[in-house]
Chain A
Amino acid sequence: MSVQLVVFFICALIALFGAGGVVWSRSPVHSALSLVATLFAIAVLFLNQNAQFLAAVQVIVYTGAIVILILFVIMLLGVDKLENLADEPLGIGFRVAGGVVAVALLAVLLAVFFFGGRTIVTGKPAQATFGGTSTYQPISQQAVSNPQAGVIDTADVPNINLLGKQIFTQYILAFEVTAALLTIAVVGAVVMAHRSKQVQPIPDEPESLDSGADLAAIDAAGEEVREA
């Protein structure tokens, strides 16, 4: 058993259990902490695949910023109440349908991976390589003009150097656009989360809706959950 294999199986178990915890925890705080476990395991799997920079970014951005932001919102809004997962306001059909969709999705993905295997990705028959000893060369403009660019294992150049060179040459426009995207996101978040003085609460029971009784049932169920 190679080291990579052992690391993979440990992290795969942690990731899957964490994912289960996100879905089946009754408290949103527990869901967020399970999400941390999953994201950390995925960061280790990135390391396991020679993506050192992405592993660092994963830990810093996801577990360090995104999950903390989610936890802040949970604490700020005081929604860290236990939720009754058996509560069925929309009827059991919706949840059964959700399960069926998820199982069908998993079945399709597994079928593609098992029957297609490596061939669907590389277009070549399977060859036992791990850690990047593949001789396959990507056919792209960059690779044709400069065989060293866009390839993961070029001698002993660190991963972050290669990634930086790629981002700041071939993908410089996309990189600049992400800066604009982040600015727009921050402005949008400030606009939406701004507390206005003249806020009207959303009416509990709109008269004009056909399903008024349905909504009332939802509200009653929500009250029970909140009081529980």
Chain B
Amino acid sequence: MTNLDVPYLVLAGGLFAVGAFGLLYRRNPLVMLMCVELMLNAVNLTFVTFGRMMNDLNGQVIVFFVLVVAAAEVVVGLAIIVAVIRRRPGASADDLKVLRG
């Protein structure tokens, strides 16, 4: 049996870093939302791996709750993006500088 614990964690860390980079690099709000999903999934993978390492089911339970909260977050985030882009077509994240008042 091969011990794959550390490879799983390294993969999750890599996915998280790519997601964080995309969030900082891209200005399209939709792509930024997708990068947030990427980071959430990396963390989910870490939770499942930790749960298996510790033989503890609660790691999987918390992934279930993260999934639910991610779904709610995407719904609200997309509604905000729709509201913004409808008022200002082609808006990027930088255009929301006008919100600082």
B15-32 Cβ-contact flags toward A at 8 Å (1 or 0)? 111111110111110110
Q: Mark B50-72, 1 if CB is under 8 A from A, else 0.
A: 11111111101101110111111
CA distance A137 to B54 in the complex (A): 7
Residues in chain A near residue B9, CB distance under 8 A: 113
CA of A122 to CA of B74, assembled, Å: 33
Q: In the complex, are the beta carbons of B22 and A23 less than 8 A apart?
A: yes
Q: Is the CB of B70 within 8 A of A122?
A: no
Knowing A15-B11, A122-B53, A138-B54 touch, does A188 contact B76 (C-beta < 8 A)? yes
Q: What separation, in Å, do the CA atoms of A142 and B44 have in the docked complex?
A: 23
Residues of A within 8 A of B88 (CB): 201-202
A216 CB within 8 Å of chain B? no
Size bracket of the A interface: 35 or more
B67 touches which of A58, A118, A190 (Cβ 8 Å): A58
Q: Contact check: which of B8, B41, B67, B95 meets A38 at CB < 8 Å? A: B41
Distance in angstroms between the alpha carbons of A121 and B32 in the assembled complex: 31
Once the chains bind, are A53 and B85 in contact (CB under 8 Å)?
Answer: no
Chain A residues closer than 8 Å to B86, beta-carbon distance: 77, 195, 199
Query: Are A38 and B15 closer than 8 Å at their CB atoms?
Result: yes
For the complex, give the distance between the alpha carbons of A102 and B27 in Å: 16
Interface size on B, residues (CB 8 A): 81
Residues in B whose Cβ lies below 8 Å from that of A110: 10, 13
A99 vs B97: C-alpha distance when bound (angstroms): 22
Contact A150 B57 (CB under 8 A): yes
Whole-angstrom distance between the Cβ of A161 and the nearest chain B Cβ? 11
Q: How far is the CA of A58 from the CA of B82 in the complex (A)?
A: 25
Distance in angstroms from B14 CB to nearest chain A CB is 6
How close is A56's CB to chain B, nearest CB, in angstroms? 11
| Sample of 7 further A-B pairs with CB below 8 A, known A62-B37, A77-B81 | A23-B22, A85-B26, A105-B20, A152-B56, A163-B57, A163-B64, A174-B65
- Return 6 A-B CB contacts under 8 Å, by A number: A2-B1, A62-B41, A95-B24, A163-B60, A167-B61, A226-B90
Chain A residues at the B interface, C-beta cutoff of 8 Å? 1-2, 4-5, 8, 12, 15-16, 19-20, 22-23, 25, 28, 31-32, 35, 38-39, 42, 45-46, 49-51, 53-54, 57-58, 61-62, 65-66, 69-70, 73-74, 76-77, 79, 81, 83, 85, 89-90, 94-95, 97-99, 101-103, 105-106, 109-110, 113-114, 117-118, 121-122, 126, 128-134, 136-138, 140, 150-153, 159, 162-163, 166-167, 170-171, 174, 178, 181-182, 184-186, 188-193, 195, 199-203, 206, 209, 211, 215, 218, 222, 225-226
Q: What are the 8 tightest A-B residue pairs by CB atom distance, in nearest-first order?
A: A98-B24, A102-B21, A109-B13, A23-B22, A106-B17, A185-B72, A189-B79, A192-B79
